[in-house]
Amino acid sequence: MKVLLSEKIDEAGIRLLKEHAEVFVAKNTSKEELVKSIKGMDAVIIRSSQMYDEVIEAADRLKVVGRHGIGLDNIDLDFVFSKGIKVVNTPTANSNSVAEHVIAMMMALSKKLVICDRKMKNKDLCVEGISLTGYAVSLGCGGLELKGKNLAIAGFGRIGRLIAQKCAAAFEMNVKVYDPPIYKKVELPEKYEWAESIDELVKDADYLSLNLPILPSTRNIINKKVFDEMKPTAILINCARGGIVNEEDLYTALKGNKIYGAGIDVYSPEPPLKENKLFDLDNIILTPHVAASTKESRTAMALEVAHGVIDVLNGKEPYNLVKPRK
């Protein structure tokens, strides 16, 4: 058996794969390279790069596509399934990493840590004869507390549930939840509330965490209309998928102080264009799609996708097998 990696994964996953198959790593993630490299392969594992239809067409032995991550928007699932090829992903491996990243952004924005750090390193606060604290606050270094605030969760899957649990336990936050109609509602823990729409979810939110997949129904779901409903002290966090938030509307909302701040880890397109106006704002924290990329989660994802691929190649049905949508 032969397995192609579109790019390297953690060594723990590679070692596991090598116990069952020959492992090859593509030179790069371009369409041309993958079309050339896929021939003779029984499996391919991709990270966030695109799984091109042309690569699937060129495959002559492919049985399974492994997605090193949760999101599947870089795979044309209908096309892959039409070829009789199975798909596995890593639904459990990076949930904690992403949840911690969301909470870190919430705290950093609330306490204005980036602004404070920048002002200290620029020596803006090195002024004799002043009260450091008072002067810092006058320059915008004062922050907000999380305790007892309203947390809105859009998307109540594994990551959404973890964020809610951690914030309710650590900061006594009030949790309200929204899931798109395509998902079956689950029973909520005591004191959590359901919102029937995005508008209802955001109305009283102090923090809005987006944990939704990118679907036709969720693309640009956070837009000017939603920002107009939010409190001026509200903070938005998106560590889910680029395209869920209309970036132009987000820029306008932040520039006009319609909301307090935003933490963004994902973009549309990726990588973001150099001309992206979000780079010009001070009330936003931007990270390069690394919420799921802790050392621990990279190892866990590599092992989870490797186990799934191996199971499929051995004729088994793994728990992380992606099922066609009905």
Q: Which ranges constitute the DSSP H helices of 256-294? A: none
**Residue environment code for 273-311, b if the CB has 16+ CB neighbours within 10 A, otherwise e:** eeebebeeeebbbbeebebbbbeebbbbbbbbbbbbbbb
Task: Report the relative pairing of strands 193-194 and 284-286 from DSSP bridges.
Answer: unpaired
Could you list the beta-strand ranges (E) of 145-215. 150-154, 174-178, 193-194, 207-210
**155 backbone dihedrals φ, ψ, rounded to 5°:** 105, 100
The answer to whether residue 296 is catalytic is: no
The answer to whether residue 172 is catalytic is: no
Q: How many residues make up the chain in this entry? A: 326
319 CB-contact burial (10 Å; exposed 0-12 / middle 13-18 / buried 19+): exposed
Task: Give 293's DSSP letter.
Answer: -
Token pair of 95 as six digits:
């949930």
Q: How far apart are CA 240 and CA 291, in angstroms?
A: 9
Could you say which of 67, 101, 161, 241 is catalytic? 241
Cβ distance 67 to 48 under 8 Å? no
The answer to whether residue 15 is catalytic is: no
21-29 contacts, C-beta under 8 A, 24 or more apart: 21/310, 21/313
Q: Which amino acid is at 288?
A: P
HSE toward the beta carbon, residue 189, CA cutoff 13 A: 11
Strand order in the sheet with 2-5: 22-25, 2-5, 43-46, 64-67, 86-88
Could you say which of 20, 158, 219, 289 is catalytic? 289
Token pair of 92 as six digits:
């459990």
Task: Give 183's DSSP letter.
Answer: S
List the catalytic residues. 241, 270, 289
